[in-house]
């Protein structure tokens, strides 16, 4: 019976295993490296998104305090489910940012997934005139729309479009006043118009990250 060199057998077996598993291990390593790189990218994007959100919140807080606004908020458009039958996406809007005066209640959690169709008249007016919209709630003829604001104690509301690239309507900058005859000045209106343009870049970036 031939003597078997155990070391030789181990070497041969190692070579065979390495030859068979080597390519698999290389692929696994590359996949792991890609996954780690992708995770790092997502973390960087998340960090930027949080920074942008903080900038937006700080801007709204500054506007509220400087101009004595009762409530100022940003509503963004988004998809929200699908119609049946078919697969047409529902268009909705939700408050994503809000700042209030002392003693004025926060409504951000209540104003989520509101159908865009509910504001169709207001939005059409805004698009046709390419301008902000001011509503004296007591004079709004649409009963449901008037009730939407009256039940929350709002007397006057200003809605400013937030436009992204190619004039895409991303959302609305909204100022709600809760006391009678609390119109804001033309200077404040001009400042809010300018601010809606400044904030559009941050809104656009965060909207893209949420969809990616």
User: Each residue of 1-50: pLDDT tens digit?
Assistant: 455 555 555 555 555 555 665 666 666 666 676 677 777 778 888 888 88
**Token pair of 26 as six digits:** 């290389």
**Token pair of 13 as six digits:** 């077996």
**Token pair of 23 as six digits:** 């390519």
pTM of the entire predicted model: 0.77
- Looking up tokens 């809605």 gives 159
User: Is 188 or 6 the better-scoring residue by pLDDT?
Assistant: 188
- Domains contained in the chain, CATH given: 43-211 (3.30.450.40)
Q: Helices in the chain by DSSP H: which ranges?
A: 6-67, 120-129, 143-150, 186-211
Residues 6 or more apart whose CB falls under 8 angstroms from that of 149 comprise: 135, 137, 140, 155, 157, 176
Sequence-ordered strand ranges (E) for 64-197? 71-82, 89-100, 114-115, 133-136, 156-163, 169-177
The candidate with the shortest Cα–Cα distance to 114, out of 98, 97, 93, is 93
Q: Read off the pLDDT of residues 157-181 as tens digits, 9 standing for 90 and up.
A: 999 999 988 788 899 999 999 987 7
Query: Would the pLDDT of 107 be above 50?
Result: yes
What is residue 44's predicted lDDT score, i.e. its pLDDT?
A: 84
pLDDT mean across residues, the chain: 84
What is residue 209's predicted lDDT score, i.e. its pLDDT?
A: 45
On the CB side of 42, how many CA atoms lie within 13 Å of its CA?
9
pLDDT band (50, 70, 90) for residue 194: very high
DSSP state at residue 109: T
Residues 6 or more apart whose CB falls under 8 angstroms from that of 127 comprise: 169
Q: Any idea which of 79-88, 101-110, 187-196 has the lowest mean pLDDT?
A: 79-88
Query: Would the pLDDT of 85 be above 90?
Result: no
Q: Give 176's strand partners.
A: 71, 157
Q: Give the span between the Cα atoms of 73 and 53, in whole angstroms.
A: 13
Query: Would the pLDDT of 185 be above 50?
Result: yes
């Amino acid at each position: 019976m031939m003597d078997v060199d155990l070391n030789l057998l181990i070497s041969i077996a190692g070579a065979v295993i390495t030859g068979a598993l080597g390519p698999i291990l290389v692929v696994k390593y590359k996949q792991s490296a890609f996954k780690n790189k992708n995770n790092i990218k997502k973390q960087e994007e998340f960090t930027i998104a949080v920074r942008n959100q903080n900038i937006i919140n700080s801007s709204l807080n500054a506007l509220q305090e400087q101009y004595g606004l009762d409530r100022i908020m940003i509503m963004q458009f988004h998809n929200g489910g699908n119609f049946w039958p078919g697969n047409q996406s529902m268009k909705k809007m939700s408050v994503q940012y809000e700042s209030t005066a002392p003693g004025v209640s926060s409504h951000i959690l209540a104003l989520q997934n509101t159908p865009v169709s509910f504001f169709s008249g207001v939005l059409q007016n805004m698009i046709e005139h390419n301008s902000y919209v001011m509503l004296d709630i007591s004079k709004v003829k649409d009963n449901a729309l008037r009730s939407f604001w009256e039940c929350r104690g709002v007397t006057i509301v200003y809605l400013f479009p937030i436009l992204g690239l190619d004039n895409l309507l991303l959302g609305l900058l909204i100022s709600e006043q809760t006391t009678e005859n609390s119109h804001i000045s033309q200077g404040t209106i001009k400042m809010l118009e300018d601010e809606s343009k400044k904030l559009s870049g941050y809104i656009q970036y965060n909207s893209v990250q949420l969809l990616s």
